[in-house]
Amino acid sequence: MAELNRASSGWHHHQRPHADVVDTSNIIATEHPATFREELIYGVLVSLNKLQSKTWGKVIYMERGRQVTSTYLSSRSVVIDGSFTSVDGDSAERATVAKFGLRQFQNRLRDRDTAYFRDQIREGVRLTGDSDGNILACRLTELTVTVKGLQQPHSFCLSADVLLQKGNLPFDETIKIFDMKEFRSTIALELKRGEFSKERLRRACLVGLSFGQDDADDLETPCWMYIISISALKELESPEVKRQAQQQAALAQMKSEDKYKESAAKQRTDRSRWAKSDQRDHLANKEAGMPQLREQPRAKKQLVGESIGYYSWEIQPSKERTTMEELQRPAAPKIGRSGERVRQWAKLETAIKISHIKAAKDASNDQVSGQD
């Protein structure tokens, strides 16, 4: 068939008897919507280079968590309805619109609610792929038809019309359900932010429609379908997008390396600045006086070690105590880093005691010699 490519073993374009005569025994059971979407897109990517140039979409009809049938769309407009009929756009009837009837396909696990909504599809919906890559839909049935994904608009490329209609397709009015301009804007934003992910963008290449009852969990919706935009997938695989993505990835790598070098340099500068700062209270006086102590001997052309380095208990030449009164005079209290008085060194105290004992002995000897 030239316009509506077959994707199910029971696809024909002539009138069928009023019975479920097509048995789709190879239906697929799924467990998670995101995983299922990835599987569907991967199946299209495998055949992407083999499709006709005018193929713009693929429809996957689902009943709850099971895929019943699917077909590629090449006619400019295709009606998905609840009939037994499938008509090619270039068939002998010269139909201007292709038709794809859903009642010709069986599902032996179909429950009562699913069978009810499928029977109510009747006139169905008309899908159109325009020259810009948009997908438009028109509700022809009296049954409610809802655009899925309204709870997560950031994950899909829904049009402003869908948001204004709160996801409900108006009767006999064509609105855009997949916005190609929005998809291109999403690509541009991903490239600008440095978060380009082809897998995430591929998942945005599809849009879902539910018949009658809609559920937040796709796999719990009785009758629904996915429409994958082949035009969007081809655009995502185009050399121009690939070139921009490579440039953006290279730029992001360069920025990451520069940022790492800048961070390492900043850390070195911060460590050096911290080491030179007076952040520790007990080092404030010490660090403040060290430059002056070192500059004085340099000005006199002396070695630094020759002028500093005395212990507190050593008797410095410039402050040598020559009398007992000076030795006995209490030294001025020193203040430590915690504000407490620093205790006298043990050796200094011992020297004072020895001097007292020696002075007492000398006095005693003088008295004895005087009596004699």
What is residue 331's predicted lDDT score, i.e. its pLDDT?
Answer: 55
Is a pLDDT exceeding 80 seen at residue 6?
no
What is residue 326's predicted lDDT score, i.e. its pLDDT?
Answer: 58
What is residue 96's predicted lDDT score, i.e. its pLDDT?
Answer: 55
DSSP 8-state symbol, 151 = T
Q: Which two tokens stand for residue 178?
A: 């997949």
Three-class SS state of 38: helix
**For residues 226 and 59, is the Cβ–Cβ distance under 8 A?**
yes
Distance CA 134, CA 139 (A): 17
Q: How many CA atoms lie within 13 A of 352 on its CB side?
A: 15
Mean pLDDT, the chain, integer: 75
Distance CA 205, CA 155 (A): 10
Domain range 33-237, CATH class: mainly beta
**For residues 56 and 231, is the Cβ–Cβ distance under 8 A?**
yes
**For residues 120 and 131, is the Cβ–Cβ distance under 8 A?**
no
Question: pLDDT digit string (tens) for 248-305?
Answer: 767 767 777 777 777 777 777 776 666 666 555 555 555 555 555 555 555 555 554 5
What is residue 332's predicted lDDT score, i.e. its pLDDT?
Answer: 55
| Packing angle of the helix pair 239-276, 180-193 (nearest 10 deg) | 30
For 124, left (φ over 0), alpha (ψ -120 to 50), or beta?
left
What is residue 257's predicted lDDT score, i.e. its pLDDT?
Answer: 73
What is residue 292's predicted lDDT score, i.e. its pLDDT?
Answer: 57
Residue (of 82, 152, 78) closest to 114 by Cα position: 82
Write down the residue that tokens 């020193």 correspond to: 334
Question: pLDDT digit string (tens) for 299-358?
Answer: 555 554 555 454 444 544 544 545 555 555 555 555 544 444 445 555 566 677 777 777
Question: pLDDT digit string (tens) for 218-233?
Answer: 888 999 999 999 999 9
Question: pLDDT digit string (tens) for 121-143?
Answer: 999 999 999 999 999 999 999 99
Q: Which two tokens stand for residue 83?
A: 């009939």
Give me the phi and psi of 174, to 5 degrees please: -85, 125
pLDDT higher at 317 or 57: 57
Length of the chain: 372
Distance CA 105, CA 25 (A): 10
Three-class SS state of 76: coil
Is a pLDDT exceeding 50 seen at residue 84?
yes
Question: pLDDT digit string (tens) for 179-232?
Answer: 999 998 888 888 777 777 888 899 999 999 999 999 888 888 999 999 999 999
- Kindly report the number of other CB atoms within 10 A of residue 351's CB atom: 14
**For residues 12 and 86, is the Cβ–Cβ distance under 8 A?**
yes
- Kindly report the number of other CB atoms within 10 A of residue 325's CB atom: 8
CB neighbour class for 57 (10 Å; exposed up to 12, middle 13-18, buried from 19): buried
Distance CA 71, CA 59 (A): 5
